[in-house]
Structure 1
Amino acid sequence: MIVPSSHRALAIDLNADLGEGFPDDEALLDRVSSAVICCGAHAGGREVSLRTIEAARGRGVAIGAHPGFPDREGFGRRERAATREEVREVVREQLDRFEAWAAEAGAVVRFVKPHGALYNQAQRDPTIADGVIAALIGRNLPILGLPGGVLEEKARASGLRFVPEGFADRRTRDDGSLVPRSEPGAVIEDPAEVVAQVLALVDRGRVETICLHGDDPRAVALADRIRSALSGAGVVVRSFEE
């Protein structure tokens, strides 16, 4: 049960990974407070990302960039070896492109969240994390990631704002890392368990944003159940920037 605390506002950001070519983007934009939009490398492309940026802007949803390894066949979820400079260039190029798309739509990019394998490797691999952070220096954009990992350490050491993130539909290990999708049970199938996990994440107060995956066919229904449960617990859904 979520109990009000003088040390924690009863509010949480709800984000969804969008602009990847799946059909529920606009419906999810009516339910989330932040949109994590593909930069066109692991999926999607200019047209779908630009359309998603415009739809998010029209709804007042915070817009974030979602750079990933350029691996469309593996949807950016296959890990790879890379140097700091290779990662920096991959992320920099995608952010440059995405910021240009946002400017074209009259929108502002508010944050960055690495995608898939890039996200997971950056939580534990200092070389990957360094490359991601190097691409953000000078952009003054917050970065989302799992709390307690290498990416958080590197971001804070570089003076970047780090926004700790939890996942509605993914199981985590004791060390806080996500259970790999290749392992049984990595994705939570029971909607009631998804809701319970979200409420527990909010109650613990360690995260500022919670992710829903836009490629999940259940995403809209899950978003409705999550918002209903949060409202019932007295928790407001709003951007972590507010």
Structure 2
Amino acid sequence: MRVDLNADMGESFGAWKMGDDASLLKTVTSANIACGGHAGDPDVMAATMRMASQNGVGIGAHPGFMDIAGFGRNRMSVPRATLQNQIRYQVAASIGMARSVGAEVRHLKLHGAIANMASEDEDLAQDLFEAALSVAPDLIVMVLSATAQQRAAESLGCTWAGEIFADRAYNENATLVDRSIEGAVIHDPEIAGKRMVEMVKAGAIITDSGKHIPTAVDTICLHGDTPTAVQIAQQVRKALEAAGITLQTFKGRTSV
């Protein structure tokens, strides 16, 4: 049994620092690196990609709403064509920067509010994925498993990987509990590690009520901006390996 461990990173901006990317890159197998929309800047993007490459970690473009002040977590109303171009713009920047440091971008993962909206709206998800693929047709699309994102990827026939979250609680329809609700974000590394072993072995998302939602479990996400991100990453990896689960970069799939 194998699974990938990914983290969102490269989210510092200028003099403002976010997360401990160097430490996370010693634990994860894939990195979703901000493209300057919700976070990150050219220097941060280059440095993070270089570190990821040196650690043998798979690199992904991590575009979101053009919303530095809100960290991409505010739901926004943007004309669809403009939104698609913003995705193209960020993905292209990611690919170009990776090439400049001798690396490559292998996957796409939407960030924050735009990802949550796409998990609820298949048409939106398909439009955003198509925009990214118009720039880089061979990208593996990382989707929120068992949501409209997965249905959109399947409809497009592109290569995709199903993602579950170590540090987020789930609603009964497999979407993430809104961050404004108490308990939505999991900070305890022990709890995160235990629940990931359970979900990977079950091949399912397990909600707080105990409901099992069978789905593709190709990769596990950790948010690099949480206070215990490094500890959660280390504990999740330790728990998975202790359960006989191998950590390796995902290959992607074209069907469930």
Mapping for residues 225-236 of structure 1, pairs under 5 Å: 225-236=235-246
Whether the aligned pair in 2 keeps the contact of 1:83 and 1:131 (CA below 8 Å) is no
- More divergent stretch after superposition (67-76 vs 201-210): 201-210
Q: Which residue of 1 aligns with 2:211?
A: none
Mapping for residues 150-229 of structure 1, pairs under 5 Å: 150-205=148-203, 206-229=216-239
Unaligned regions of 5+ residues in structure 1, if any?
1-9
C-alpha separation between the residues in 2 aligned to 1:15 and 1:181?
20
Change (3 A) 1:43 1:136: closer
C-alpha separation between the residues in 2 aligned to 1:126 and 1:30?
35
Q: If the length of structure 1 is used for normalisation, what is the TM-score?
A: 0.92
C-alpha separation between the residues in 1 aligned to 2:200 and 2:123?
31
State whether structure 2 residue 14 is matched by structure 1 residue 16: no
Change (3 A) 1:137 1:171: same
**Identity of aligned pairs, percent?**
40
Whether the aligned pair in 2 keeps the contact of 1:84 and 1:130 (CA below 8 Å) is no
Unaligned regions of 5+ residues in structure 2, if any?
13-17, 204-215
Whether the aligned pair in 2 keeps the contact of 1:118 and 1:128 (CA below 8 Å) is no
Deviations along 1:78-129, one digit per CA (max 9) or x if unpaired, are 1112343122111001011111101111111000000001111111123421
C-alpha separation between the residues in 2 aligned to 1:28 and 1:93?
27
C-alpha separation between the residues in 1 aligned to 2:33 and 2:182?
28
SS at match of 1:26: helix
- More divergent stretch after superposition (203-212 vs 145-154): 145-154
1:240 is aligned with what amino acid?
A: F
SS at match of 1:118: helix
Per-residue deviation, 1:154: 1.6
Per-residue deviation, 1:74: 0.8
Mapping for residues 3-42 of structure 1, pairs under 5 Å: 10-21=1-12, 22-42=18-38
Q: Which residue of 1 aligns with 2:42?
A: 46
Per-residue deviation, 1:145: 1.6
CA RMSD across the alignment: 1.4
Deviations along 1:175-221, one digit per CA (max 9) or x if unpaired, are 00000001111011332221121112211223100001111121111
Q: If the length of structure 2 is used for normalisation, what is the TM-score?
A: 0.87
SS at match of 1:137: helix
SS at match of 1:44: coil
Q: Give aligned pairs, total.
A: 233
